[in-house]
């Protein structure tokens, strides 16, 4: 079955710096790659997603890139703000709608 | 946007009792619902996938007789934790899909504490 690895597990940055989180997946049939932000005790919130027919997608300060050949995708957050502090999860889906989540990255943005 | 609710938001029960958690899609018909479990500081682990009117598909290692899932309508799925034990204490989150693409819409979660 699908396996998703995520790095780093923790990431600390200064406000205004960029943050990059990377994920790799194992199932070449995966075609949908969402990223979620989860605050303590809350539900995961979709922040951006990308499908396998696209290499890059951007939404204001957030961007995601996908390399299908290498089977990895990355989340880029620019001009980080303290309110970006949270746990971020990547996930992959192979068309069965089933999402397999990465292990999560705890992002801390220091003012 | 699509809204998914969960009830209760938290529950405390005694060991050996059963607990039922409801997941509802409020403004769309959810052909598929998913149940996840999340332990503190860990990722979401998929427990099972349920389609309306059919039996749930459980992930490897999840006891189907302990975690009973019912998806009787396109807007409601329930998870019953039977004979709960302290190790079942966790954050249970449901999600629903059915709008024609892969996106899942998550409920707010239920925190279960078994004493």
Residue B77 and residue B25 in contact, taking contact as beta carbons nearer than 8 Å: no
Strands B10-13 and A105-110: unpaired
At residue A66 the predicted structure's pLDDT band, cuts being 50, 70 and 90, is: very high
Cα(B25)–Cα(B34) distance, rounded to whole angstroms? Answer: 12
Cα(B52)–Cα(B34) distance, rounded to whole angstroms? Answer: 11
Cα(A8)–Cα(A41) distance, rounded to whole angstroms? Answer: 22
Q: Over range A73-98, report the average pLDDT.
A: 93
Taking the CA of residue B16 and the nearest CA in chain A, the distance in Å comes to 25
Tell me the backbone φ, ψ of residue B107, rounded to 5 degrees.
-80, 170
Which of A41, A42, A49 is the closest to B103 by Cβ? A49
Report pLDDT digits (tens) over A74-86.
999 999 999 999 9
Report pLDDT digits (tens) over B33-69.
999 999 999 999 999 999 888 889 999 999 999 999 9
Task: Determine the longest span between alpha carbons in chain A, in angstroms.
Answer: 42
Collapsing DSSP states into helix, strand and coil, what is residue A39?
coil
Instruction: Answer whether B108 touches A (CB < 8 Å).
Output: yes
Residue of B24, B2, B94 lying closest to A99 (CA atoms): B94
Report pLDDT digits (tens) over B19-29.
999 999 998 88
Cα(A71)–Cα(A63) distance, rounded to whole angstroms? Answer: 17
Report pLDDT digits (tens) over A27-36.
999 999 999 9
Q: Which helix (H) or strand (E) holds B72?
A: strand B67-73
Which of A32, A41, A101 is the closest to B43 by Cβ? A101
Which residues from chain B sit within 8 angstroms of residue A42, using beta carbons? Answer: 108-109
Instruction: State the Rg of chain B over Cα.
Output: 13
Strands B90-97 and B19-25: unpaired
Residue of A99, A89, A64 lying closest to B105 (CA atoms): A99
């Amino acid at each position: 079955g699908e396996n998703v690895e995520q790095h780093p597990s923790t990431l600390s940055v200064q406000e205004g710096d960029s943050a990059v989180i990377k994920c790799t997946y194992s199932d070449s049939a995966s075609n949908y790659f969402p990223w979620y932000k989860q605050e303590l005790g809350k539900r995961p919130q979709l922040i951006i997603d990308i499908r396998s027919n696209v290499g890059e997608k951007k939404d204001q300060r957030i961007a995601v890139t996908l390399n299908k050949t290498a089977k990895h995708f990355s989340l880029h957050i620019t001009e980080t703000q303290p309110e970006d502090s949270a746990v971020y999860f990547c996930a992959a889906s192979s068309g069965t709608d089933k999402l397999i989540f990465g292990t999560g990255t705890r992002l801390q943005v220091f003012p | 946007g699509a809204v998914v609710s969960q009830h209760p938001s938290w529950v405390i029960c005694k060991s050996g009792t059963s607990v039922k958690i409801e997941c509802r899609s409020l403004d769309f018909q959810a052909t598929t619902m998913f149940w996840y479990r999340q332990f503190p500081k860990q990722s979401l682990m998929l427990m099972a996938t349920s389609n309306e009117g059919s039996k749930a598909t459980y992930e490897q290692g999840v006891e189907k007789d302990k975690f009973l899932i019912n998806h009787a309508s396109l807007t409601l799925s329930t998870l019953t934790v039977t004979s709960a034990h302290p190790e079942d204490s966790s954050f249970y989150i449901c999600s629903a899909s059915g709008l024609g693409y892969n996106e899942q819409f998550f409920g707010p979660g239920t925190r279960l504490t078994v004493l």
